[in-house]
Each structure stands twice: as structure tokens, then as C-alpha cells.
Amino acid sequence: MKSILVTGGAGFLGSHLCERLLAEGHEVLCVDNFYTGSKSNISNLLQNPRFELLRHDITFPIYVETGQIYNLACPASPIHYQHDPVQTTKTSVHGAINVLGLAKRLGIKILQASTSEVYGDPDVHPQSEDYWGRVNPIGIRSCYDEGKRCAETLFFDYHRQCGLSIKVIRIFNTYGPRMLPNDGRVVSNFIVQALRGEPITIYGKGHQTRSFCYVDDLIGGMRRFMDSRADFIGPVNIGNPGEITILELAESVLSVVGGPSKLKFLPLPQDDPKQRKPDISVARKELQWEPKVPLKDGLRETVAYFRRTLLD
């Protein structure tokens, strides 16, 4: 049993990670400022004596004792990270400095939840880890993209300069239960719209592509990476290489939910990447990991979750 700190543990991915770590028998300290996370995400964990919750903003120093750190704290959807872009950059950069300082003081391993957004609107397809990306440094997505890029820089510099044990994972679009119904991400938007019989909002022509990974697969990859050999520090892409257009996603959601929704076409947001698909050969080789859950199965689970929560 280890004592493990999860920042952003009350969020979508963080709550699934906390749950998995507890099921494995570890002690979990969940640190969250509830910016986008919620107590309801972890309500089933609060009774567990091995689970502890600390309300804290990681842009401020944090002095706790723990044996390992997963740094997930950061709003992840465009609506939320663009709501207070300065805070987003602070969370990525100041937050990284604080958790890295904590890991350095304790001499422990730390994992950074980075993102496919470090590749920006990519001109290399699919994206492999050695691609440096095509990111606008001054656009409306930059607070997130550049914040995450700077956090990666900090992780690698703490590794080189202080000998810190690090792991950097680049997460591609992930979906599943506990996504927020109102955070504007495409899977949650489409499901909620379909369940309410409202129009499905397609930005642009819907020909842009994404590759969607079910949350259980993602958490499995993250766990495997954290426990992998010390000299494999990443960055490593974790995601599902099954690439589809946004129009195809709309059709899949509608076929799972049913209902009368029609498609509604709206303008494409600024800097919206045209295509995205992870090259996961590094994860396959180094972690013997690949996603298992087909899109239809994952959508069914996610739709069931939204049916329950929207009816509450």
C-alpha cells in the first residue's frame, strides 16, 4: 500500500483515478479547489477510511506528506479553461512548480497529466511523441496549450536539474461517466442534446477528426505508466487511435440514444484543430498497453450515466 496524492482528484479523470487507486488498496489524498470538479464525483469515496480530501488551490504551495503524486489539476474543456485564462496558465505553471517542489522535498515520483493539445493544430498525422507541435502562442487556446507545454518543460528540467523521478503522459480526448454536462466538450454536448431532443451542434462542417478513448482504458494506461521502469519517463501518448469525424460521432451518439434530434451547424471556434489521432506505438511497446473499449460500448456507459444524472 502506498500513500498517493492526486491533484484534481474531484474532476472527471481524477475521480476515476482515485477510485482505481483505492480499489488497488492504496491510501489516497485528493487535492482539489472544486473549480470544475465536484464533491458528487467523489461522494462514493468519502466514507473510505483510506481516502482523504483537501480543498486547496495548487497555485499556492502545498506542504503534505505522501509517497507519490499524480498532477491532474487543471480545467480541461475550452469553456472552463477560457473562462479565466490567467488562472489556467497559473494552474499549469505555478501549480507544476509547487507539486514539483513537493516531490523534490519528499524525493518521490510524480506524474504529469499533459495533453494532445501540446501538438496544437498538427501538420503531422497521426501525432507521435517526437513531433513538436504547431501551437498558436497568443490565441484563445494558448493559456491551456502553452501552460501545458511549459509544465512539460518544468517536469523535464526538474528531472535533469534535480534528478527528480518523473512521468509525463499526453492524454488524448477521453470521455465517460462524470464528464460535466455543461462543459462544452463534444461527447457530453452531443449526449445531453440527444437526450433532451435538442439539435446536435456541429461546429464547422463536422469534417474535423478526433479519436475518443474511454475513461477506463485511459486510467489503465496511466496506472501502467506510473509503475513502469524508472528510465521510461515519457512523454507518452495515451489515447484511442480510432479516428472519426465529428459528424460520425454525432451519428454514433444518435444511434445509441435514439430520439428526434437534428443536426445544427455552427461556426468553427478559433484555432480548432482539424485532425487528431494518437500514434500509440510507444505505449504499445513500452507499456504493452492499448485501449480495449469500443466507442459504442463506451458511449452506452456514458449515455446511461447522463440519463441518471439528468433525471436526478
Length of the chain: 312
63 is a contact residue toward ligand UDP (CB under 6 A): yes
Q: Which is nearer to ligand UDP, 49 or 63 (CB)?
A: 63
The residue of the chain with the least Cβ separation from ligand UDP equals 101
DSSP state of 6: E
Q: CB under 5 to 8 A by kind: which of ligand UDP, ligand NAD, none does 210 bind?
A: ligand UDP
Q: 49 burial class (0-12, 13-18, 19+ CB within 10 angstroms)? A: exposed
306 binds ligand NAD (CB under 6 A): no
Q: Dihedral sign, CA of 168, 171, 177, 183?
A: positive
State yes or no: is 63 an active-site residue: no
232 makes contact with ligand NAD (CB under 6 A):
no
Closest CA to 36 of 86, 70, 95, 77: 77
Distance of CA 240 to the CA centre of its chain: 13
The contact mask relative to ligand UDP for 145-184 (x = CB under 6 A, - = no) is ----------------------------x----------x
Task: Please write down the long-range contacts of 194-198, taking CB distance under 8 Å and 24 or more positions apart.
Answer: 194/253, 194/254, 194/257, 194/258, 194/259, 194/261, 195/257, 195/259, 195/303, 195/306, 195/307, 195/310, 196/310, 197/259, 197/260, 197/261, 198/261
**Residue 74 Cβ, how far from ligand UDP at the closest point, in Å?**
13
Residue type, 234: G
Can you tell me the distance from the alpha carbon of 151 to that of 163, in angstroms, rounded to the nearest whole number? 17
Find, among 159, 186, 167, the residue nearest to 269 by Cα: 186
Considering only the stretches 84-92, 94-102, 256-264, 300-308, report the one whose residues sit in contact with ligand UDP under the rule CB under 6 A. 94-102
Could you tell which of ligand UDP, ligand NAD, none binds residue 208, using a CB distance below 5 to 8 A set by kind? ligand UDP
CA 94 to chain centre: 19
Name the binder of 97 from ligand NAD, ligand UDP, none, CB < 5-8 A by kind. Answer: ligand UDP
Of 266-305, binders to ligand UDP (CB under 6 A) are 268-269, 272
Q: Does 8 bind ligand NAD (CB under 6 A)?
A: yes
Q: Which of 80, 148, 185, 277 binds ligand UDP (CB under 6 A)?
A: 185
Helix, strand or coil, per DSSP, at residue 144: helix
- Residue 40, phi then psi, degrees to nearest 5: -65, -30
Binding mask 72-111 for ligand NAD (x = CB under 6 A): xxxxx--------------x---x----------------
36 near ligand NAD (CB under 6 A): yes
102 makes contact, choosing from ligand UDP, ligand NAD, none, with CB < 5 to 8 Å by partner type, with ligand UDP
Q: Dihedral of CA 67/68/71/72: which sign?
A: negative
Catalytic-role residue among 35, 70, 119, 144: 144
CA pair distance 271, 140, nearest whole angstrom: 8
Cis peptide before 235 (omega within 30 of 0): yes
Return the one option of ligand NAD, ligand UDP, none that residue 245 interacts with (CB less than 5 to 8 A, by type).
none
Please identify every residue annotated as catalytic: 144
Q: Which residues bind ligand NAD (CB under 6 A)?
A: 7-8, 10-14, 32-37, 57-59, 72-76, 91, 95, 113, 115, 171, 173-174
Residues that bind ligand UDP (CB under 6 A): 61-63, 77-78, 97-98, 101-102, 104-105, 173, 184-186, 189, 201-203, 208, 210, 246, 268-269, 272
